[in-house]
């Protein structure tokens, strides 16, 4: 019951900030987005989790089957407008990463950008991504997380309740640990902004 309540509160927060989310989303550098999609190949079936208002649309490669999900209807409404403006051929679906409706091993590639700061149960969401990604596929995450700097990490812990209340985003998530708990093999880990912003390439085929 508490988990459902937390999910509903998080969803409401993102519904609320949807009108200004594009301004917040611009904090993700274009170069980071380009790196995220550079490994996608023609013919791939690709899932973007947490599409938001469609900030990654300009970086979608041609010749791929794109599916994008978000758990906020207000976010998706704006993404649909952007889809028409950019002429992108993709499927937009209202879905929670913690309980996706896709069959097992559906996608060749799964991508997220600054999503797991807000997923109520990040390990459950990551396990779902593993489930829907083919064993031969790859998962690419661009995520911000708690700093490994001792002082800065404590500051982030202190400020986190305020950021959650305002935007629904946790700034002190230990995302690397969550990735490992979900059973992924970390193939590559690139530090983009100190230890706070990182890009991961993950292998979903690790069977425990």
pLDDT on residue 12: 83
The phi-psi region of residue 56 (left if phi > 0; otherwise alpha if psi is between -120 and 50; otherwise beta) is alpha
Domain count for the chain: 1
* Tally of CB atoms within 10 A around 12: 13
Q: Is residue 208 part of a domain?
A: no
CATH number at residue 41: 3.40.50.150
pLDDT on residue 143: 97
Indicate the average pLDDT of the chain. 92
Domain that holds residue 55: 2-203
pLDDT on residue 27: 86
Q: Is residue 68 part of a domain?
A: yes
pLDDT, tens digit, for every residue of 34-92?
999 998 998 999 999 999 999 999 999 988 999 999 999 999 999 999 999 888 889 99
Question: Which residues, given as ranges, of the chain have pLDDT below 70?
Answer: 1-4, 206-208
Q: Is residue 136 part of a domain?
A: yes
Which pTM value belongs to this model?
0.93
Q: How many CA within 13 A on the CB side of residue 33? A: 16
């Amino acid at each position: 019951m508490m988990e459902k309540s937390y999910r509903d509160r998080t969803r409401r927060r993102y519904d609320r900030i949807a009108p200004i989310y594009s301004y917040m989303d611009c904090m993700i550098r274009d170069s980071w987005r380009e790196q995220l999609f550079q490994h996608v190949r023609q013919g791939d079936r690709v899932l973007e989790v947490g599409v938001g208002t469609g900030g990654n649309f300009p970086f979608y490669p041609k010749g791929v089957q794109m599916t994008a999900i978000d758990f906020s209807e207000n976010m998706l409404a704006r993404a649909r407008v952007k889809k028409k403006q950019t002429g992108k051929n993709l499927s937009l679906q209202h879905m929670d990463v913690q309980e996706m409706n896709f069959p097992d091993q559906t996608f060749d590639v799964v991508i997220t950008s600054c999503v797991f700061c807000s997923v109520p149960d990040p390990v459950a969401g990551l396990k779902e991504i593993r489930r829907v990604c083919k064993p031969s596929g790859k998962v690419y995450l661009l995520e911000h997380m708690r700093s490994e700097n001792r002082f800065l990490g404590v500051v982030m812990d202190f400020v986190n309740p305020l950021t959650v209340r305002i935007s629904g985003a946790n700034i002190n998530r230990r995302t690397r640990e969550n990735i490992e708990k979900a059973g992924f093999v970390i193939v590559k880990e690139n530090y983009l902004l100190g230890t706070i912003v990182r890009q991961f390439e993950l292998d979903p085929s690790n069977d425990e």
